Amino acid sequence: LESVNHCHVNGVVHRDLKPENLLLASKLKGAAVKLADFGLAIEVQGEQQAWFGFAGTPGYLSPEVLKKEPYGKPVDIWACGVILYILLVGYPP
C-alpha cells in the first residue's frame, strides 16, 4: 500500500494492480514488496477523474471502469481491496 500511496502522491495511477505485479525483493521474512509493470499507468493532476479507457486485468477492474465512467486514483484502491481479499480467503471475489 505504501508504493500505491507513493504513486498517487506523485500523480500516477497504476491501473493494473494485481498479485502478479507485486514482487518480493528477497525470500527473507520482512522483505520489501516492489510494485512492477507500469505499462498501463497514467499521470493525473490532483484528484482528476476522466474516462481514460479500459485498462487493467478484468478481475481487478473497479465498477466505474466497467461502467465506462470517469475514474482516477480510486481504481487502484479498489484493486488493492481485491488483492487483500485474495490474501485473506485464498481466492478472488
List the domain boundaries for the chain: 2-38+47-89
Interval 33-75: pLDDT, tens: 899 999 999 999 988 888 888 999 999 999 999 999 999 999 9
Q: List residues with catalytic annotation.
A: 16
- Residue 58 has a pLDDT of 95
For 1, the grid coordinates are: 500500500
Map grid coordinates 495511477 to a residue: 13
The phi-psi region of residue 89 (left if phi > 0; otherwise alpha if psi is between -120 and 50; otherwise beta) is: alpha
- Residue 29: its pLDDT value, please? 84
Between the CA of residue 87 and those of 37, 92, 93, what are the distances in Å? Answer: 20, 9, 11
CATH class given for the domain over 2-38+47-89: mainly alpha
The Cα–Cα gap between 16 and 37 comes to 8
Who contacts 3 (Cβ-Cβ below 8 Å, separation ≥6)? 33, 34, 35
The pLDDT of residue 87 is: 94
C-alpha cell at 92: 478472488
Instruction: Record the pTM.
Output: 0.89
Q: What's the pLDDT tens digit per position in 8-20?
A: 999 999 999 999 9
How high is the pLDDT of residue 30? 82
pLDDT at residue number 71? 93
What phi, psi does 75 have (nearest 5°)?
-65, -30
